[in-house]
Chain A
C-alpha cells in the first residue's frame, strides 16, 4: 500500500517536472538533436575530413560512423535513464532540488580536467567551486571507455563493476580504450604513438603519417575507434553526470589541456566536445588554471589580513600520466600573469613503461604479437607495476610477485634507488622543462616565492626533490590539492568567462595567458620565421614584412607553422594559403605583410597581403583562421615542397629596412 503510494508520488513528480520543461525525455531529445545538428555541421564545415575518412579508412568508415551514432544514442539513453532515476529520488524530498536549480546558473561553463589517466569535473555554485562526485562517490574518475559486448560505458560511472580491483582488471582486458589524451591528434609516425603500442588494446602503426589504427576487443573481434570518439563517449557520460547534479542542461565547458598540445590536438578536443554536445568556451593550459586558483587563494589571504598584497612569483610544476608542464606566473591583486610556459610529453606513463621493461627485460620480445594472452599478461604486469610505483612513494622497498601466465613470472624486490636510476632520463627531462621555463621568464631560483607541485606524479619523492632543488626551496606550497587544482581553476575560469560576477569580489580574478609555442611562417628557404614568439601575452597581434624571392613572382605561399624548431619542417604545419595577383616586379621589391592574431579565446587568425607597391589593382588582405589542415601535416609540407619547390617562396625583410 505504502509502496503503491510512493510510486504514484514518483510518477506525479516526474509529470510535474515534465511540465516545467526539465524532464529527461525532453533533455534526451535536445541532446540527440544537438548532436545530429553538430554532426551535420561538422560534416559541412570539414569536407576534407570526411573525404579522408572515406578514402583511408574504408573498412571502418561508413559502418563505423553509423555504429558510432548508434552507440552514442544508446549512451545518451543510458545516461538519461540514470538521470531519470535521480530526478524521481530528488523529487521525493520535494523542495531541495528546485531550490538548487534556481541557485545555480544555467549558462555558466563547467570545468573539466580530462587527464590521461583520471578525469574530474567541477562547477561554480555561486560562491565557490565544487567538484562533482560520480555514483561511486569518486571525484577523480578513471579516463577510459569500455567497448564490451557492444554496450559502451565510460569511467564516469565505472561501468557495471563496483569494485576498484575489478574495474582495473576490466580496463586492462583489451575491451577498454584509455590514454586517449596521449593518442589524440597524433600521426602514426609520432613517437608517443609508437610508445603506446604496449598498451593492452590494439594500436597499429604503419609509419606513413596517417592516423594510427586503434581498436578494442569486442567478442574476439577488433572494433576500430578513434581517440576523439572515445573522448566524446566519455564526455557524454560526464555531461549526464553534471546535468544530474545541476538539474539543468549544460552546454559550455572550460577544459584544461597540456602545454605541449599542438593546435591540431586542441581542434580534436573541440571536436570531441562537439560530438558530446559541449561547446568549448576555453582550453586552458593546465598550469595556467592552477595559476588562477593560486591568484584566488592569494586574494583570500589578503582578505583575511594574512597576505601582504605584493607581487608573488610562483613556479607551477604539473606532471600527470601523459604530460608534464611548468609555468612561471606573477600574481597580485587577483591577477595572475603567465610569464613563461613549457611542457613536454613525458609523464607517469613513461615511468610505468620503464619500470615494466625493467621488471621484465624480455618484455618486447615476449609480447610482440596481438593475441589475447599477450593482452592479459600486459594487463597483469601493468597492474602490478602501477601498484609498485604508488607504494614506492612512501616505502623504500616494494616486493613484486606476479604470475603473468604462460610460464612467465616476475618476482623481485624493487628499491627506490633502483627505481630512480631506471627513470633517470625522465627526471632529467623534468629538470630541462623547469630550467627552460625559468630562463624564458628571465628569472633565477631566488626570485621564486612559491613552488606549486600538482598532478599524480608530484607524489613521487624524486620529482619533488628535483623541482624543489632547482628552485632552492625546502618545501612546496601547501594550499593546493595536487589532484583537484586543475579542475578547480577551470571551473573558476568557466564562471569568469561566462560573465559571472560576485558582489563580494571573489571572482575579480584573471589569468593573463601566454602563447606556449612560436607561431610563424616558412621563409628564406626552409627556415621558420617566428611572428608571434612563445610566451607572448594573449590576446596577441604581431606582424612581419616579407618579400618575393624571384623576379616577376606573382604568387606566394604562406605556410603557417607552430613549434620550436629553427627549420620549418621540424614544426607542425597548421595550414597554408596563397597570395595571388602580386604585381610583377624585381625580386625583393614587393612588400608583403603577414600579421598573426590570437584572441582571448585562443583563435589564431593570419592576415596577409601586399603593402608595396601600392596601386589600384592590389587585392585585399586575405584573412584565414588556423588550422586549416586536418592532419597529415608531416607529408603535407613535403608534398608542398616537392610540387612548388622555391617558386612561391618568401624572404623575411629585416626590421630596420621598413619604417
Chain B
C-alpha cells in the first residue's frame, strides 16, 4: 500500500513500463498491463528458475510486481 501512495513520477513510470515489457509511451489499458504482468511473471517468477539464476529472477519478479502495482493502481479511481 505504501508503493501506491507514492507520487507518480515520469521516470518511475517509464521504468515500470520497461519492467513489464510494455511500450515506453502511449495510452495503456488495464487489460494490457495485466496480461503483460502475467507474461513477465511466468518468465521471472523464482519458481521458474532453478539454481544460480533464481536470486536474479527473484529481483526481477519483485520489480515486475512493483511495476504492476504502480501501473494498475493508477486505474483504480475510474474502476
The residues of A with any CB-CB pair to B shorter than 8 Å are 310-311, 332-335, 337, 493, 496-499, 508, 510, 512, 533, 537, 539, 541-542, 599-601, 655
Specify the main secondary structure of chain B where it touches its partner: helix
- The reply to whether the CB of B2 lies closer than 8 angstroms to some CB of chain A is yes
Once the chains are docked, how many angstroms separate the CA of A471 from the CA of B21? 36
Interface size on B, residues (CB 8 A): 20
Q: Are B41's CB and A496's CB within 8 A?
A: no
Query: Chain A CB within 10 Å — which of B35, B47, B62 has the most?
Result: B47
4 nearest CB pairs, A to B: A600-B46, A335-B38, A499-B50, A333-B38
Once the chains are docked, how many angstroms separate the CA of A655 from the CA of B1? 12
Shortest Cβ distance from residue A450 to the other chain B in the assembled complex, whole angstroms? 18
Contact residues in B for A537 (Cβ distance below 8 Å): 65
Per-position 1/0 for B39-62, Cβ under 8 A of A? 101100111111000100010011
Shortest Cβ distance from residue A174 to the other chain B in the assembled complex, whole angstroms? 44
Shortest Cβ distance from residue B24 to the other chain A in the assembled complex, whole angstroms? 23
Given known A-B contacts A510-B41, A600-B58, A655-B2, A333 and B35 have beta carbons under 8 A apart: yes
Q: Are A510's CB and B61's CB within 8 A?
A: no
Shortest Cβ distance from residue A432 to the other chain B in the assembled complex, whole angstroms? 24
Q: Are B58's CB and A510's CB within 8 A?
A: no
What is the chain A residue whose CB lies nearest that of B3? A542
Once the chains are docked, how many angstroms separate the CA of A335 from the CA of B62? 16
Q: Are B39's CB and A333's CB within 8 A?
A: yes
What is the chain B residue whose CB lies nearest that of A311? B34
Shortest Cβ distance from residue B67 to the other chain A in the assembled complex, whole angstroms? 13
What is the chain B residue whose CB lies nearest that of A336? B38
Once the chains are docked, how many angstroms separate the CA of A497 from the CA of B31? 28
Contact residues in A for B34 (Cβ distance below 8 Å): 311, 332
Q: Are B46's CB and A333's CB within 8 A?
A: no
Q: Are B62's CB and A539's CB within 8 A?
A: yes
Q: Are B47's CB and A510's CB within 8 A?
A: yes
Contact residues in B for A334 (Cβ distance below 8 Å): 38, 42
Q: Are A539's CB and B46's CB within 8 A?
A: yes
Q: Are B38's CB and A496's CB within 8 A?
A: no
What is the chain B residue whose CB lies nearest that of A281? B47
Once the chains are docked, how many angstroms separate the CA of A310 from the CA of B35? 9
A-B contact pairs, 22 of them (CB 8 A): A311-B31, A311-B34, A332-B35, A333-B35, A333-B42, A335-B41, A493-B47, A499-B49, A499-B50, A508-B42, A510-B42, A512-B41, A533-B1, A537-B65, A539-B46, A542-B2, A599-B58, A600-B46, A600-B47, A600-B58, A601-B46, A655-B2
Query: Chain A CB within 10 Å — which of B35, B38, B46, B50 has the most?
Result: B38
Shortest Cβ distance from residue B33 to the other chain A in the assembled complex, whole angstroms? 12
Once the chains are docked, how many angstroms separate the CA of A210 from the CA of B49? 41
Contact residues in A for B48 (Cβ distance below 8 Å): 496, 510
Contact residues in A for B47 (Cβ distance below 8 Å): 493, 496-497, 510, 600
Once the chains are docked, how many angstroms separate the CA of A501 from the CA of B5? 39
Contact residues in A for B41 (Cβ distance below 8 Å): 335, 337, 510, 512
Contact residues in A for B65 (Cβ distance below 8 Å): 537
Shortest Cβ distance from residue A104 to the other chain B in the assembled complex, whole angstroms? 18
User: Which one, B1, B39, B46, contacts A599 given CB within 8 A?
Assistant: B46
Contact residues in B for A600 (Cβ distance below 8 Å): 45-47, 54, 58
Once the chains are docked, how many angstroms separate the CA of A498 from the CA of B61? 18
Once the chains are docked, how many angstroms separate the CA of A499 from the CA of B47? 8
Contact residues in A for B50 (Cβ distance below 8 Å): 498-499
User: Which one, A311, A510, A541, contacts B45 given CB within 8 A?
Assistant: A510
Given known A-B contacts A333-B38, A499-B50, A512 and B62 have beta carbons under 8 A apart: no
Once the chains are docked, how many angstroms separate the CA of A537 from the CA of B35? 17
Contact residues in A for B42 (Cβ distance below 8 Å): 333-335, 508, 510
Once the chains are docked, how many angstroms separate the CA of A539 from the CA of B61? 8
Shortest Cβ distance from residue B25 to the other chain A in the assembled complex, whole angstroms? 25
What is the chain A residue whose CB lies nearest that of B5? A655
Once the chains are docked, how many angstroms separate the CA of A510 from the CA of B61? 13
What is the chain A residue whose CB lies nearest that of B65? A537
Once the chains are docked, how many angstroms separate the CA of A508 from the CA of B39? 10
